[in-house]
Amino acid sequence: MSVGALVRRRDSAATRAALLKAATAHFAREAYDSVSLRSIASAANVDVSLVSRYFGSKEELFAAVLAGCPGPDELFVGEIKDFGERVARMVVDDFIHDEKPDLLRIMLHSADHPVAAEAVRKSGDERFFGPFERYLGGSNAPERVRLAASIIKGVVMDRLISDDLGLTPAQRERFRARLAKMLQAAIEE
């Protein structure tokens, strides 16, 4: 081998991670149909055949991307009586643009594609709605969870559009307090 030749060690874990990272970035900024396996492989600096080797298909890769997004576990810790206040602080005060919003962006970009939307629904049931329902318990948990989730997603969308929600600091504080009350009311039996 010549001195100038690039030698690349085989590392399946690193290759799989690079493909997932590239796929997450693509699905977060493009519609499901617009994302090509070739572009993902190119971004990961690997041959496109490795996508099939590690994930099987675009559909399975998409499901792996959803599974790799950070979960909402911190929503389901603590006292239920403090849920509204805790979550309002998370989405208004502690929101970080570079972390969990990838999942929301992916959901938005894939909502009109039947295969992708079904994968999002399944992932949401397993990783969000099911755990949330178990956390709340009691009667009508599915309806209460869906209402709270809709409110949370709406605020997160607003944060993606306008970091300060278009509000002054005093208005944001009042907004957060109202949001806390609304979320608490949404989850109560």
DSSP string, the chain: --TT-------HHHHHHHHHHHHHHHHHHS-GGG--HHHHHHHHTS-THHHHHHHSSHHHHHHHHHHHSPP-GGGGSS-GGGHHHHHHHHHHTS--TTSTHHHHHHHHHHTTSHHHHHHHHHHHIIIIIHHHHHHH-STTHHHHHHHHHHHHHHHHHHHHH-TTTT--HHHHHHHHHHHHHHHHHHH--
Q: pLDDT confidence of 89, banded at 50, 70, 90?
A: very high
Query: Token digits for 35?
Result: 């994302």
Minimum mean pLDDT among 15-19, 102-106, 144-148: which range?
102-106
Mean pLDDT of 12-25: 93
Predicted confidence (pLDDT) at residue 4 exceeds the cutoff of 80: no
pLDDT of residue 8: 45
Instruction: Write the pLDDT tens digit of every residue in 134-153.
Output: 999 998 999 999 999 999 99
Q: Is the pLDDT of residue 7 over 70?
A: no
Q: What pLDDT shows up at residue 100?
A: 55
Sign of CA pseudo-dihedral 95, 98, 102, 105: positive
- Report yes or no on whether pTM surpasses 0.85: no
% of the chain exceeding 90 in pLDDT = 69
Confidence label for 189 from pLDDT (cuts 50, 70 and 90): confident
What local confidence, expressed as pLDDT, does residue 103 receive?
81
CA dist., res. 107 & res. 1, Å (int): 47
What is the rounded average pLDDT for all residues in the chain?
88
- Each residue of 58-83: pLDDT tens digit? 999 999 999 988 878 788 888 999 99
Which letter, b or e, does each residue of 141-169 get, where b requires 16 or more Cβ atoms within 10 Å of its Cβ?
beebbebbbebbeebbebbeeeeebeeee
94/169: higher pLDDT? 169
Q: What structural domains and CATH numbers belong to the chain?
A: 12-68 (1.10.10.60), 73-187 (no CATH)
Q: Of 2-16, 18-32, 55-69, 95-109, which range is least confident?
A: 2-16
Q: How far is CA 127 from CA 8, 100, 130, 144, 160, in A?
A: 36, 13, 7, 17, 22
**Of 185, 71, 187, residue with least CA distance to 128:** 71
Kindly tell me if the per-residue pLDDT of 96 is higher than 80.
no
Res 2 pLDDT > 90: no
